[in-house]
Structure 1
Amino acid sequence: MINKFLRFRYHESIVVTLNEESSPHVAPMGVEYSEPYLILRPYRSSKTYTNLVLRPMLSLNFTHDARYFFKAIFKQEEIDFEFSGLERPPVIRGNFDLYVEGRAKLLDSADDRAVFLVTAEKVYEGLGSKLALSRANNALLEALVYYTKIAALVSKGDKEIPEYLNLLRINLNLVRKLGNLELVEMANTIESKLSELLGGRLR
């Protein structure tokens, strides 16, 4: 079933892990599919990395709807979970195409981004994204991807940040041009949060 959905090598997901108090933590993250494995590369400074080292179980939640990725970053209190066991991370309720519950094995942690190999233990379809192709939706997701990259690198002053900022601006402008009011408001929130993150240097 994974082959049916993850045909293009890299796909965006929302990863759910459990912290040491067994509370769920969500984080948007790209997933590489290399049959039969899924590969995650979280930053070692992230909570996802810490949680997976402590508890290797996780769930991967796949959807086309960028609004869920926005909530995962800025409004986690609005995410509704469905639990299947005390020691297993929940999945996210909503319009998701595919759920993968599995176990992660740490392969490499020498660089800023660790490498985990995920073995799928349970794979099943969700309700579906129920969303036709939308450039505004895709652009919002791209903007969120660059926001998370910048947030992870800003404290180190990484040389790639100016390029990421430019790409983020391009995608925010596309959302404002083609999106409805809901998506435009999300784009404005991203810009506001990024401005706070960079100390007002976003122009």
Structure 2
Amino acid sequence: MLLIVTLGVSTLCASQASATDLVGSVRVIDGDTIDVGTARVRLHGIDAPEQGQHCGAGGSGHWACGAWVTENLRQMVEGRMARCVELDRDRYDRIVARCFVDGEDVGEQMVSRGFAVAFTRYSMDYTTHETAAREAGLGLHAVAFDPPAQYRKRSAQKATKNAQKECVIKGNISRDGAERIYHMPGQRDYKATRINLSKGERCFDTAEDARLAGWRPAKR
């Protein structure tokens, strides 16, 4: 009797799990993001070049690898039916999921063909597929390219550096994130204050703009 009950519970759990799967027609957003029906989905475990990213160095030339990867994913799955298993939510509240088209794992296919890399910060699921693609010189591995995470970090640093040059009023966030403070030219800490856009810090044209945005003036 206990065995029968256990099997019954297992069957019920499996049924509930399958009921939560996301199913719908695919629209490709970029190399690792798709819409499945009306839901925005970030493909689990992979990282593809950013849409505006360029690859290649030396004799390889410079080419729009981000757009190229997006187009390859589009040819693979655009308009087809996908089944996605939600695993998490990212900081943009997108569904992070493993998605299947005709029974094939889309993320695995992207990495195996050299269109994306394993996103080892979050998952080790596709590391062997990346190694095989790299050794075979497939896709991105046939040329020089910056890993997408490295490209994003460098782009953020460049944007922050430009912001420092153009900043008039510096909107700074305290280390514990509790306070948003703006510094005016001439104040004691103005020159030493650095703006980190990735943390949500920003520049303002006027003190009024800063106050309206919810920032308070620095005391010194």
Whether these two folds match at TM > 0.5 is no
The higher radius of gyration belongs to 2
Higher relative contact order (CA 8 A, sep 6+): 1
Please give the TM-score of this superposition, normalised by the length of structure 1: 0.27
Please give the TM-score of this superposition, normalised by the length of structure 2: 0.26
